[in-house]
Amino acid sequence: MKHFTKNNLFQQQTPLENLLITTAVLLLTTAIAFIYWFAADSSANIPLFYVAALVLVARFTTGYIPGIAASLVGVACVNFFFTYPTFALNFSLTGYPLTFLAMLLISLTTSAAATHLKEQAKALAEHEKLLAEAEKEKMKANLLRAISHDLRTPLTGIIGCSTSYLENGSHLGEKEKMELVLHINEDARWLLHMVENLLSVTRIQNDTSTVNCTPELVEEVVSEAVARFRKRYPQAQVRVSVPQEPVMVPMDPVLIEQVIINLLENAAIHGKSPAPISMIVTCDSDTDSVLFAVRDYGNGIPSDRLSTIFDAASAVSSSAVDGHKGMGIGLSICKTIILAHGGSIYACNKNPGAEFSFRLPREEIINEAKAECTDH
């Protein structure tokens, strides 16, 4: 008998497959009925075995014909094997025609209902698939718009500074030249960070929106991410707190490191506070998950941006008015990565400052477009 999984329950079966499945179910049911008959010395409940068999046939075959055929064969089996006189078809005894007619109607109704429910479930699954595809296309379009904006901003700065240096270099002092070079260097580093974010997205499988996870030690992943962040921002201070006992979480370590770096960078640039950034990892036994929180002690998040801060569509308008570059697609990529891990990501204001946190399940439950997340 064919092996069935969650992914092929709704696949269209061939007529031969329908025949093999129906035959196998009926043979197995008849064998179980004989065992029950000899053990209980009664055939009163045997028709229920065949009703259950009809449900299985309707579940694992396609169309109404296998269920109808199984109904007729089931009624015949009960009459032939388990009704006096046994091993003979006899519908002429008093009361038997009505009894078997009722059994046939119940069998046909059960089979038709089970098949109809399966068809409805199939249609619902196809509808959800179409919605997921539409959401994926919308996300791609939003990311493309955000990428175009965030790449254009540093490129414009590099071109402007380099043009000023080339055209007016002979008239500029060393201090002015150094400032132009520093601006070029800063924008070039920002472009490098953007490319790293884009490369992180390409690690997510396009066909399933999932990631390949392996059990990783949380302390090592956090330590590597913080070390990479400190290389870029040597003046920034980060206080790290992790559980004393080793904690293993299924994840793609490169992607999660990128998420932590993005959140730390966001806190360093937009927090505007001399206080150290807090990076706190805690275990939640109630939900069997691990919570990662990054908090700054600065100005907090504008209230009008809380509801869309992780959306790629808002990245185009996320450039800060103080001259700093906005996070752009950085936070949107954080959301994409965390959802692909089956987790959730949040943002909220504290007193003072803001906190970005994400939660990862300790069991390997990867998101299939059904993970719930309160996106702020």
Q: How confident is the model over 43-57, as pLDDT tens digits?
A: 778 888 887 887 788
User: For position 328, what pLDDT does the model report?
Assistant: 53
User: For position 321, what pLDDT does the model report?
Assistant: 36
Q: How confident is the model over 124-153, as pLDDT tens digits?
A: 888 888 887 887 777 667 666 666 666 777
User: For position 146, what pLDDT does the model report?
Assistant: 64
**Burial class, 133, CB count within 10 angstroms (exposed 0-12 / middle 13-18 / buried 19+):** exposed
Domains annotated on the chain, with CATH: 15-129 (no CATH), 208-376 (3.30.565.10)
What is the three-state SS of 322-348?
Answer: CCCCCCCHHHHHHHHHHHHCCCEEEEE
User: For position 94, what pLDDT does the model report?
Assistant: 55
- Residue 250's beta-bridge partner residues? 215
Q: Which residues of the chain have pLDDT under 70?
A: 1-12, 90-100, 103-104, 107, 111, 139-140, 142-150, 197, 200-210, 312-329, 364-376
User: For position 290, what pLDDT does the model report?
Assistant: 95
CA–CA distance, 282 with 288 (Å, rounded to integer): 11
pTM: 0.54
